[in-house]
Amino acid sequence: MSHRMPMRAHRSNFDNLQSEKHFAAMQAYGQSKLANVLFTYELARRLEGSGVTANALHPGFVATGFARNNGALYNFGMKLIGPFIRQPDQGAQTSIYLASSPRGGRDYREILCRLQSR
């Protein structure tokens, strides 16, 4: 579900990018993730043909303590799903692979396509 969140933010109010008029935590999070992806697309476009790649990725649901201050109900839910969340060293593997692969994101996209087709 979290990987779909940034796409929901496409309805963001660009007159309120800093959330000064209204703040919704998950909308702000999704908007920031969408901004990261859009920035990476533009950077990749500008770097095209230079031999430099630009990649954006989502490492999956990783136990980093993110949003730990969201209240008792959220904390209870996190304890329930805790055993299914990737540990930080596991979550880092995605970034490490992407950064160290000689082919850049091409290998990563191929692996994702294979995993999603299973």
String of DSSP letters for 42-82: HHHHHHTTTT---------SB-S-TTTTS-HHHHHHHHHHG
CB contact at 8 A, 36 and 63: no
Beta bridge partners of 86: 62
HEC-encoded secondary structure of 28-40: HHHHHHHHHHHHH
Beta bridge partners of 62: 86
29 is an active site residue: yes
Two tokens, residue 48: 């095209």
Question: Known catalytic residues?
Answer: 29
